[in-house]
Amino acid sequence: MRFRSGRFAVAAIGVVLLVGGCGGNSGDAVDYGSYPTHRIGGDFDQRPSRARGILAESLRLGERIVLGNEVDPDLTAGRGGGVLVDSTGIDDSTLSGPQRTALQGYSILGGYSALAGNKPFDPAETTKKFLAVSLLAFPDEQTAAAAARDMEHADFLTNSDNVPVGLDAYPAAINHWRPGVPTLGSWISWKSVVIRVFAELPEPDFGKLAQQVAKALQVQLSALERFTPTPASDLPNLRLDPDGLLPRLVKTDDYTPDEHSFAVYSTRAFAAASAKPAADFEANSSRGMTSIAVSYNKMLYRLRDNTAADEFTRHLIEATQTDYAPMPGVAERDSISCAQLKQPNPRSADASRYRCLITRGEYVAKVYSNTDIDVRRLAAAEDAVLSDGGSR
């Protein structure tokens, strides 16, 4: 699957260094390198953009996506998921090839998915549970209903043994399964959104499969009650970063909206595709995390207050001490804590060998690099950027 937890923070090793001020007063001896030390705004949210709107709507759907454990407490292992579409249409392998083909003629305004199992993926595993839930937004209710029918029909035709089945609790849902195979697929439209559910259980018991799918629909439909789909005419004006989090990260590359390298996630959307969605969502929510901004090799976590930010920083340090060893940070900057990987992967191109955490006010920033000098410069600049405009 496209979206994996942790991939954002190390997404770019070849970041572009922007020439900016050396930061602070003339007597400031901190080495910022050529990184800017003040917030740099951009027009990524100012001009109408359908592509940005599709990403923003997808992330809004991600705020409402059901997590596997909310359907079945056994489903705690993440199997991927995330943003499903871009401006060209479906851009993910969560949906089958025939389903993606069936959607080629449709205008899709957004999409998000969450996949979970009772254990991490193992192709040899036979006693497994699996649940995939996908949300797709369309221009109107009629289009969504037609898309659901076309997706189900295309998937149905992939095997001559498939038979149509009904769900007593959801007569509007379109479903099919193959007798003797422990899977069940279901499609239903809600307003202008299509919900697609795929469930797998250890045994080909239709009754249990139907219960699993019905429970998934129940939880997902309940979550969508608080969701208002964005009208197609308003999509180009939908903002990616209404709270202005992204300019609080050091500008190291173009401000181009992208689900992997330049976006803002809710706590639920971010956890949905992690390796441990249930645990991550519960832990981050209880710690007071409200959103996560991703900008190339940097991440920004917003917490409910200063105390929560301090506690989250301590958690990040303690939770990764097996992999990261402490190293000197930046002189006279107590807000910065740095570390280096104990066993870096020589075959990895990710800029993850060195990491610094910066805590300012209700924000915790995480920056990466493959050299210790660069990560300190980047961390110092990030500390200055977070302080720009007022902070703790």
- Give tens-digit pLDDT for 124-150: 777 799 999 999 999 999 999 999 999
Residue with tokens 């496209």: 2
The pLDDT score that the predictor gives to residue 346 is 66
Residue 19 Rama label (left phi>0; alpha psi -120 to 50; beta)? beta
Confidence of residue 352 (pLDDT cuts 50, 70, 90): confident
Q: What percent of the chain has pLDDT over 90?
A: 83
Confidence of residue 172 (pLDDT cuts 50, 70, 90): very high
The pLDDT score that the predictor gives to residue 391 is 44
Question: Mind giving me the DSSP string for 208-242?
Answer: HHHHHHHHHHHHHHHHHTT--PPPGGGGGG--S-T
Query: CA-based angle 169:173:174, to the nearest 5?
Result: 135
The pLDDT score that the predictor gives to residue 345 is 72
Q: For the purposes of burial, counting CB atoms within 10 Å of the CB of 97, is it exposed (0-12), middle (13-18) or buried (19 or more)?
A: exposed
The span from the CA of 108 to the CA of 229, in Å, is 12
Distance of CA 298 to the CA centre of its chain: 15
Mean pLDDT lowest among 17-21, 91-95, 304-308: 17-21
CB 235 within 8 A of CB 50: yes
The tally of CA atoms less than 13 A away on the side-chain side of residue 316 is: 25
Question: Mind giving me the DSSP string for 92-129?
Answer: -SSS-HHHHHHTTTS---EEEEEEEESSS--TT--S--
Distance of CA 364 to the CA centre of its chain: 18
* Whether the predicted pLDDT of 236 surpasses 70: yes
The pLDDT score that the predictor gives to residue 349 is 61
The pLDDT score that the predictor gives to residue 29 is 80
- Give tens-digit pLDDT for 77-130: 999 999 999 988 998 888 999 999 999 999 999 999 999 999 988 877 777 999
The span from the CA of 48 to the CA of 53, in Å, is 8
Q: Mean pLDDT over residues 301-329, rounded?
A: 96
* Whether the predicted pLDDT of 343 surpasses 60: yes
* Whether the predicted pLDDT of 14 surpasses 70: no
Q: What is the CATH number of domain 50-224?
A: 3.40.1000.70
**What does the mean pLDDT of the chain come to?**
90
